Structure 1
């Protein structure tokens, strides 16, 4: 039985801890915050409750596998899990709206044809065929296996070239795919919204980001009853049932090294804790920037998604009045000025007309009574570099933040009837809140091939022997499902050693 210290209590870290405990190891988790869950947080006030991180779950099989492998009680006995239908509604810049059914390709094609006309559904279906090719080529090496030492093969984009007559043209970016293959600004906006939701700029994201809408529309979107925080509660409880010890409010200040190997950690009260293995579940940039891990120059940092410089602004809205029965759970209201939005992401400023995601869960546990409603509105924004002094959110003033939130709420009115009249109060959360809670302003995205390997996260085995990386900044990247996958990979590497070749 090995002694294992886990730094951080995010979803990837807890997924690792639960699997290692079941394998017979003694696991202790040290979390600097007073709670667990990492980015899967919650804000509560006056009987209203809001998810401050992910609002929906994709690829629920990841957490089903976690619960099966760590105990007899399956996921559905621990949380209430339901498919959202429609999966999403989209309101485009020209006022056109479409509702897309959950995990039904034929239904999606039909809905797009009916709403957009002109063979829009057929073009989207053809695009999904190419996206499926990219998914098939990259799924196992980018999700289910540890990254190999040589990642050069991942620098090539797996998204297939489009045949145009006797020639083939390869799209350089996701925006190229929308422009060349979809040939409708509304379909292009639909495509790009999936990249934005994961924090990628469509103008620079590789064409392989096409796997994001494919993944969602193939495997579906799921809601956890009581909000996504209920999933964090369930994973935490599973850890505790398997003997994992949690020490909250304990900040790790140093990873101890002896003979070139991690042998424990030091806490902020100077206490030292020995370990046979250390799992770092905290964001990798924060670990290096705060010198928890020793380094002399940034060249020594492991590869990570350094080109992702985006974060989230979330507005929590407390509304009077009942939610209408036919309201969509999720509505994407697309920007009326795409060029300005993308330019703002590239130049590190706030745009005038952001694309917003409006979540309106029909869940009595999130509101004081049936005559009120809790709504969240989220936008992807520029968040700058990993150094605090370089960050937009250290300089942007309160009036600018409130004005941007005003514009977000104005856009959300397209999805919520009578929003302005129903609003009781609101709370605005920005990348500055993310930094306060996690140590970074940015939200990492899932691993993507292409882009010369710039969107590959850190490998799970760290450069230091005995140290491993888990969570959104580690392979296979950000997102709730991907964080759970990182837990499976790290646990496999510790239990089975260098011979581990991935989940089966």
Structure 2
């Protein structure tokens, strides 16, 4: 039985902790915050509750596997999981709208034809076919196996883009795929929104980001009753049931390294904890900033999603009056200036009118009777979290409120009369993310292409005995991907160098 110290109590870290405990190891988790779950948090006030992290779950098979492998219980016995149908409603800048069914390619094709005109659905369906090819080529090595030392395999783009133009050059970015292959600005906006939801700028994201809409429309969108925080609660309870020890409010300030190997951690109060293995679930950028690891700069770390510089603004809206019957759970209200939105993300400044995602869960556990809890989110430049002059969040707090005003106005396309119903709102910016997780950025899932710039940190660190789990490590961010990360780290520790990935 090995002693294992886990830094941080995010979802990937807890997934690793429970699996390692089941394998017979003694696991202790040190978390600097006063709660667990990482970015999967909840804001509560006056009987209203809001998810401030992910609002939906994709690829639920990852967490089904976790609960079966750590207790032989189905996920559905631990949380109430419901399929969201329709999966989403999209409101485009020209006023047209389309409602897309969940996990039905034929239904999506039909809905697009009806809303956007004959042929729109066929073009989207053909695109999804090519996206499926990219998924099939990259799924196993990119999601289910440890990241190899030689990552050149992932430098190229697996998406089989159609060739066009005089030079017959294939599309290199997701935005180019939308323009060339979908040939309708509304379909292109639909495609872009899937990248934005994961923090990627479509203008710079590789064409391989096509796997994101394919993943969602193939495996469906799911919601946990009581909010996604209920999933974090269930994972935490599973850890406790497997005798994982949690020490909250305990900040790790250093990793003890002896003879070139990680042998424990040092806490802020001066205490030390010895370990045979250390699993760091804290964001990799935070570890660099706090000089926990013996590397001088982030440039010495080979894979850390260096191209991803985005975060989220979340506006929690407490509304008087009941939710309209039949309202879509999720509505995407597209920006009227997609080029300006991309330019703002690239330049590190806020745009005038972002694409917003409006979530209206029909869940009585989240609001007082007769009222409604709504969240509105937008992908924004994250800044550095250090209030420097070039940080978009370094200005007066009224700047964030003004941006939230624009988000709220856009959300009225999804919730008519929203501002007249508003009781109060809470605005959360990348500064809140920085305070809670150690980084203002939100990590995205690993993507092939772009020369490997969107690969996260490998699970095995350069220091023997130390591993990385969670959104900043392979295979990246998001609820499903962080769960995969925990499974990979547990496999590497239990099975060693012979481990070839999840089965």
Q: Deviation string for 1:141-200 (max 9, x for gaps)?
A: 110000111001100000003156998542110000000000000000000000000000
Q: Partner residue of 1:53?
A: 53
Q: Partner residue of 2:343?
A: 343
1:232 aligns with 2:210: no
Partner SS state of residue 29, structure 2? strand
Partner SS state of residue 57, structure 1? coil
1:118 Cα deviation after fit:
3.4
Q: Partner residue of 2:81?
A: 81
Q: Deviation string for 1:202-258 (max 9, x for gaps)?
A: 000000000000000000000000000000000000000001000000000000000
1:481 aligns with 2:480: yes
1:394 Cα deviation after fit:
4.7
* 1:79-478 mapped onto 2 (5 Å cutoff): 79-162=79-162, 169-369=169-369, 371-385=370-384, 389=388, 392-478=391-477
Q: Deviation string for 1:20-49 (max 9, x for gaps)?
A: 000000000000000000000000000000
The 3 A distance-change label for structure 1 pair 393 and 313 is: same
Partner SS state of residue 354, structure 2? coil
Q: Structure 1 CA distance, aligned partners of 2:440 and 2:323?
A: 33
The alignment's TM-score, normalised by the length of structure 2, stands at 0.98
Q: Partner residue of 1:63?
A: 63
The 3 A distance-change label for structure 1 pair 24 and 214 is: same
Partner SS state of residue 392, structure 1? coil
Contact 1:384 1:390 in 2 (8 A): no
Contact 1:104 1:218 in 2 (8 A): yes
Q: Could you say what the CA RMSD is over the residues aligned between the two structures, in angstroms?
A: 1.4
Q: Structure 1 CA distance, aligned partners of 2:489 and 2:89?
A: 37
The 3 A distance-change label for structure 1 pair 45 and 386 is: closer
Q: Structure 2 CA distance, aligned partners of 1:393 and 1:286?
A: 19
Partner SS state of residue 65, structure 1? helix
Q: Deviation string for 1:438-464 (max 9, x for gaps)?
A: 111100100000000000000000010
The 3 A distance-change label for structure 1 pair 247 and 412 is: same
Q: Structure 2 CA distance, aligned partners of 1:391 and 1:140?
A: 40
Q: Structure 1 CA distance, aligned partners of 2:205 and 2:389?
A: 23
Count of matched residue positions in the alignment of Structure 1 and Structure 2: 503
261-270 or 384-393: bigger deviation: 384-393
Contact 2:135 2:211 in 1 (8 A): yes
The 3 A distance-change label for structure 1 pair 149 and 390 is: farther
The alignment's TM-score, normalised by the length of structure 1, stands at 0.98
Unmatched runs of 5 consecutive residues or more in structure 2: none
